[in-house]
Structure 1
Amino acid sequence: MLLLAFFILGLVVHVVFFISIFDIYFTSPLVHGMTPQHVPLPAPAKRLVLFVADGLKADTLFKTDDTKIDKAPFIRSIMEESGSWGVSHTRVPTESRPGHVALIAGFYEDVSAVAKGWKENPVEFDSVFNESRHTWCWGSPDILPMFAKGASGDHVYTHTYSAEMEDFASTDASKLDTWVFDEVKAFFSSAKANDTLLSQLREERNVFFLHLLGIDTNGHAHRPMSREYAENIEIVDAGVAEIVSVMEDFFENDKGTSYIFTSDHGMTNWGSHGAGHPSETLTPLVAWGAGIRTAERTTTQHFNDHYLQEWRLEYLRRIDVNQGVLPLGYLDNSGLFKAESMYANSIQIMEQFKVKMAQKKETTLSILFTPYQ
C-alpha cells in the first residue's frame, strides 16, 4: 500500500513538472492593452530606411584584409564620415525569425511563437511597422508576411519573390538581393507618375524595409569564407549606395531620412547559425542620416574584446547596443529629447507591468495575491 502511494505521488509530481514546461515555455509572455507612449517633441526624421543583410557577420563586414581593401567601401565611408557604428549583441536562437522580431518589434521571440509556426504570426505583437503611417517591404516570403499579418489596418505593403528563388543549392544567391534593389528602384520610378502613391510617400512616419537574404543563403551553401559570400557583400554595399542615392533624389535631399544597416544574426565559419557563438551573435550596426550622430574620432576605447584592432577601427567611436536598452549614443539631438525618450520608454515598461499585474490578479485567489510594495 505504501509502495502504491509513493508511485502515485511520484506520478503526480512528474505530471506537474511536465505540464509546467508547457506553461512556462509555450505560453506567450506578451501582454496587450497598454496605453501607447510618445515623445511630445518633433521627430528627428521624417522616414526610416532599414536594410537587413540576413546572415552577415560583424567580423566579416568590418574586417579588412592584408591589403586593407574594404569589402563594403560605401558602408565604411559612412562609418568614417557621416554615421555611427557598432556591434549589436543578439541572443539565441540566432535564427531569422526571432532576429527580425527583435529588430522590428523590439522584443526577443518567445518559444510559443516559434513552436506554433515560422512564416506566420501566431502570437500577435506590435511592431515599428504597425506604428508607422505606411511601411513598404521587399524581400523573402519567409520574413515579410508575419509583420504584414500582424499589422492593424492596411498600411504594411509587402513585395516578395517566389519561394523557388530561395535555392540553397544555387551557385550564387546574390540574385535575391539584386531583385530587391531592382524592385525598390522601379517602385520609386513608378511613384513619380502615381499621384496617390506619391502623396503617401510624401507623408511622415513612413518605413522602408529591405530584407536581403543573399548573404545568408550563400553562407549556407558556400561558407562565409567563400568568394561567393564576399562578393555578395560587395553587391549589397553597392546596392545600398544606389538605393540611398535614389531616396535622396526622390525626396529632394530634404535631410529627413534615417538609414540603418544591420543584420539579424551572424554565422559560423562552417555556415551554420542558431547557437550562441560570437560569430553568430555579433552583428554589424551602422546608422546615418536624420537624427543620427556623425562619425567621431577617438583615441581611447574600452572593450573587452580584440575586434577594434583586427578591424583597424580603433580611431572611430564604437557604440554597441543591446536589445531593450534605448541607444542614446546614436542620437544626434538635444538633452531634452533624449530625456523625454527615456521617460516615455520607462512609462511604456511601467504600462506593461500594470497590465501584467492586473492579469495576474484576475487569475489568482485574492488571499494569495500580494502586490509589490
Structure 2
Amino acid sequence: MQVFIITALLVHFVFLISIFDIYFTSPLVHGMTPQQTPLPPPAKRLVLFVADGLRADSLYELDEDGTSRAPYLRNIIEYKGNWGVSHTRVPTESRPGHVALIAGFYEDVSAVAKGWKENPVEFDSVFNESKYTWSWGSPDILPMFAKGASGNHVYTHCYAAEREDFGAEDATKLDTWVFDNVKSFFQSARNNQTLFSKLNEEKIILFLHLLGIDTNGHAHRPDSREYKDNIRKVDEGVKEISAVLEDFYGNDGKTAFILTSDHGMTDWGSHGAGHPSETLTPLIAWGAGVNYAQRVASQLFEDEFLKEWRLETWKRQDVNQGILPLEYLNSSGHFKAESMFANAVQILEQFKVKMSQKKETTLSFLFSTFK
C-alpha cells in the first residue's frame, strides 16, 4: 500500500511538472538567420486597423431592416477586397491576440501572466522589420511592440490610461481619439518635410488600435446599442482614414489595408475562453497586393454564417492567425512561391536552433536524429 501511494504521488508530481514544462516555457528561440523574399513587395505601406473585441458576426450580419451597420466595409467585401473569418486561439485576450497578428506566433502563457506592457520574452515583429511604424491607441497595447525594437523607428501615440473606463456610458470616444489624431498627424506632415519624407519611404506601417468596441462590449454586452453604434463609428472612421491616405499619397495604389480583430466576445460581455463567439473574428483586406472580390456560385462551410450574413455569393477565405494566407495575395506565382520558400526556410532555421539547443542539454548517448 505504501509503495502504491508513493508511486501515485510521484506520477502526479511528474504530471504537475510537465504542465509547467509544456505551457510555461517559451516556444521561442533566438539566433536564426533572418529570411526575406528577393522580390519587391506589391505595397509600399500597410494600414492595420484592429477593432479590439469585434465579433465576426457582429460586423458581417445585417440589421433588422436588412442594412449593414458597416456599409463601407461591406462595399469593400462586395467590390474591392477579400474577406473571411480569422480563427484565434485560447487565451482570447488582447495581448496574445495582437502578438499573433503582429509577430506571427502564439505567445506562451508565461508571457501573458507576467504583464502586458513588458516583454518577458523578446520577440521580433513586423513593426520591428518595418522602415517606420506609427501607431495610435491604447497604452496597454502599443508599448509592447515598441519596447525592444531595434533602433528608433517604432513610434507610439497613446491616450491617457484614465480614458479606458469600462464603466463609461459610451467608449466610442476612444476610437474617435485615434481617428482624429491620425487625421491631424497627416495634416501636420504636409508642413513637416522630415516627417513627409519618412512617410514616403518603403516599408511603412500605420497601426490603429481601436479599443472602443471591446470596452463597450464589456460594459453593455455585444447586443447593445452602444456596441453596434461603435461598429458604425469604426466603419465611418476607416472610410475617413482611407480617404485621407489616398489624398496624401495621390492615389498611388501602393497602400494595403487590413481590418481585423484580436478576439471576439461572448453574449454576456466576456472573453478569454474558446467559445466561437470569442475565437471567430472578422478579416477584411483590400488595396495594393490584395485580390479583388470574387463571386462564386456556392461555398462549402460547416457553419451557417454565409446565409445569415447574406454573403453566399462572395468568396469567403478563412485564415488562422500566424499562417501566410496566399489566397489573399494578388501577385504573380513567382512572388507567392518565393514567399512560401522564405517561410519554409525560416521554419527550418528555427528547427536548426532548437535541435542545437536540445543536443547541448542532452547526454550524447541519448541524443539521436531522425533520418
TM-score computed with the length of structure 2 as normaliser: 0.97
CA distance in 2 between counterparts of 1:267 and 1:23 reads: 30
CA distance in 1 between counterparts of 2:106 and 2:348 reads: 18
CA distance in 1 between counterparts of 2:158 and 2:231 reads: 21
Using the TM superposition, give the Cα deviation of residue 273 of structure 1 relative to its aligned residue in structure 2, in angstroms.
0.9
The structure-2 alpha-carbon separation of the partners of 1:122 and 1:300, relative to structure 1 and needing over 3 Å to count, comes to same
The residue correspondences of 1:321-336 to structure 2 (distance < 5 A) are 321-336=319-334
Instruction: Identify the match of residue 222 of structure 2 among 221, 224, 228.
Output: 224
What do the CA deviations read for 1:279-337 (whole angstroms, capped 9, x no partner)?
Answer: 11110000000000111111111111100000000111111111343211100011111
CA distance in 2 between counterparts of 1:11 and 1:59 reads: 48
Per the alignment, residue 165 of structure 1 pairs with 163
CA distance in 2 between counterparts of 1:27 and 1:57 reads: 30
What do the CA deviations read for 1:168-188 (whole angstroms, capped 9, x no partner)?
Answer: 110000000000001101111
Residue pair 2:106, 2:322 contacting (<8 A) in 1 also = no
The one-letter amino acid paired with 2:142 is L
CA distance in 2 between counterparts of 1:179 and 1:55 reads: 18
Per the alignment, residue 22 of structure 1 pairs with 20
Using the TM superposition, give the Cα deviation of residue 9 of structure 1 relative to its aligned residue in structure 2, in angstroms.
5.5
Per the alignment, residue 177 of structure 1 pairs with 175
Per the alignment, residue 143 of structure 1 pairs with 141
Residue pair 2:47, 2:257 contacting (<8 A) in 1 also = yes
CA distance in 1 between counterparts of 2:284 and 2:110 reads: 32
Per the alignment, residue 242 of structure 1 pairs with 240
Number of equivalenced pairs: 371
Residue pair 2:101, 2:322 contacting (<8 A) in 1 also = no
Residue pair 2:55, 2:277 contacting (<8 A) in 1 also = yes
Using the TM superposition, give the Cα deviation of residue 66 of structure 1 relative to its aligned residue in structure 2, in angstroms.
3.1
CA distance in 2 between counterparts of 1:71 and 1:238 reads: 10
What do the CA deviations read for 1:82-110 (whole angstroms, capped 9, x no partner)?
Answer: 11111111111111111001100001111
SS in structure 2 opposite 1:85?
strand
What do the CA deviations read for 1:149-200 (whole angstroms, capped 9, x no partner)?
Answer: 1312111100101110000110000000000001101111111111111111
CA distance in 2 between counterparts of 1:364 and 1:279 reads: 44
Using the TM superposition, give the Cα deviation of residue 21 of structure 1 relative to its aligned residue in structure 2, in angstroms.
2.6
Per the alignment, residue 275 of structure 2 pairs with 277
CA distance in 1 between counterparts of 2:64 and 2:215 reads: 26
TM-score computed with the length of structure 1 as normaliser: 0.97
SS in structure 1 opposite 2:196?
helix
SS in structure 2 opposite 1:118?
coil
Per the alignment, residue 98 of structure 2 pairs with 100
Q: In the alignment, is residue 52 of structure 1 matched against residue 43 of structure 2?
A: no
The structure-2 alpha-carbon separation of the partners of 1:164 and 1:206, relative to structure 1 and needing over 3 Å to count, comes to same
Using the TM superposition, give the Cα deviation of residue 10 of structure 1 relative to its aligned residue in structure 2, in angstroms.
5.4
Using the TM superposition, give the Cα deviation of residue 18 of structure 1 relative to its aligned residue in structure 2, in angstroms.
3.2
What do the CA deviations read for 1:105-136 (whole angstroms, capped 9, x no partner)?
Answer: 00111111112212321111111101111110
Per the alignment, residue 209 of structure 1 pairs with 207
Instruction: Identify the match of residue 336 of structure 2 among 335, 338, 361.
Output: 338
Root mean square deviation of aligned Cα: 1.4
The residue correspondences of 1:6-155 to structure 2 (distance < 5 A) are 12-155=10-153
CA distance in 1 between counterparts of 2:309 and 2:18 reads: 46
Instruction: Identify the match of residue 267 of structure 1 among 254, 265, 268.
Output: 265
Q: In the alignment, is residue 360 of structure 1 matched against residue 358 of structure 2?
A: yes
The one-letter amino acid paired with 1:113 is A
Residue pair 2:104, 2:323 contacting (<8 A) in 1 also = no
Residue pair 2:299, 2:312 contacting (<8 A) in 1 also = yes
Residue pair 2:260, 2:282 contacting (<8 A) in 1 also = yes
Deviates more, 1:12-21 or 1:62-71: 12-21
SS in structure 1 opposite 2:217?
helix
The structure-2 alpha-carbon separation of the partners of 1:14 and 1:44, relative to structure 1 and needing over 3 Å to count, comes to same
Q: In the alignment, is residue 311 of structure 1 matched against residue 304 of structure 2?
A: no
SS in structure 2 opposite 1:283?
strand
The one-letter amino acid paired with 1:253 is N
Residue pair 2:69, 2:232 contacting (<8 A) in 1 also = yes
Using the TM superposition, give the Cα deviation of residue 20 of structure 1 relative to its aligned residue in structure 2, in angstroms.
3.0
SS in structure 2 opposite 1:266?
coil
CA distance in 2 between counterparts of 1:368 and 1:219 reads: 53
Return 5+ residue gaps in structure 1 as ranges: none
Return 5+ residue gaps in structure 2 as ranges: none
Deviates more, 1:22-31 or 1:128-137: 22-31
Using the TM superposition, give the Cα deviation of residue 7 of structure 1 relative to its aligned residue in structure 2, in angstroms.
6.1
CA distance in 1 between counterparts of 2:162 and 2:64 reads: 38
